[in-house]
Homo-oligomer: A and B are copies of this chain.
Amino acid sequence: MSPEYIDPIARPDLFLGKREQTKAQNRQRILEAARQVFAELGYGATTVRDIIRATPLASGTFYNYFKSKEEVFQAIQDESALRIRPRLHEERAKAETIEQFITGTFRTFFEYVASDQSNFHAIRRNTDTLRVRMDTPEIIAGFQELREDLEKAIAKGLFPPVDADYLMAAIVGVAFELAERMLRRDIVDTDAAAAFATALFMGGVHALPVLAPIAPPGSGGA
């Protein structure tokens, strides 16, 4: 048998020691169990023990990987943020008009949210009426990046010289709140949500998409 080239990225198990493999596997097991339990019980109601029980591991093992349920939650959040942040940044970097900047941001965000319901729902939907949002380092960095992108766009003359901090906050607020409503609707229409948000930022209330005078129930209304 001649030795063939094997991609170490595709088959890490052949190159990592058994120890490393188990460690990576355990971490994933915990995160996966946590996602399930958070989704089922809500963040507030789940205990570290609930997560452990959803796992074949012993309680002590959990603490080899995470200090608390907060840390698990943060890891889950960071995973999401890490996935979406580059896409958002790229979208905005290549924008040549305000509209492209805004629409690229909202479209990308809403599409991600819709594709990631397991995470996003588990994250924002919580027991009863209690909603939890964790601004992890990665997420804060994402906000910061939006602000910097806005400042760059202002410097380029793309945007008028407005308060970038407040504008960032407004974009974040609309993005999260609209995402919430969007997910609650029967048909999740990311385009409609993105169109709404973009129109608002481009021209205010007067520019928003207009609904049909008497909309039949369930009409998209974009």
A residues apposed to B, CB below 8 Å: 44, 70, 74, 98, 102, 128-137, 140, 159-163, 165-167, 169-170, 172-178, 180-181, 193, 196-197, 199-211, 213, 221
Contact = CB atoms under 8 A, between A and B. Distances in A.
Contacts of A181: 165-166, 169
A192 to B, nearest CB: 8
Given A130-B132, A134-B129, A177-B170, A163 B205 contact: no
B200 A203 contact: no
Contacts of A159: 205
A169 B162 CA distance: 23
B169 A177 contact: yes
Contact of A205 (B131, B135, B169, B202): B202
Question: Chain A: interface secondary structure?
Answer: helix
Nearest to A211: B161
A125 to B, nearest CB: 11
A104 to B, nearest CB: 14
A208 B177 contact: no
28 contacts: A130-B134, A131-B132, A131-B134, A131-B135, A133-B133, A160-B210, A161-B210, A162-B205, A162-B209, A162-B210, A163-B196, A166-B181, A166-B193, A166-B196, A167-B208, A170-B173, A170-B174, A170-B196, A170-B200, A173-B175, A173-B177, A199-B204, A200-B200, A200-B201, A200-B204, A201-B205, A203-B203, A203-B206
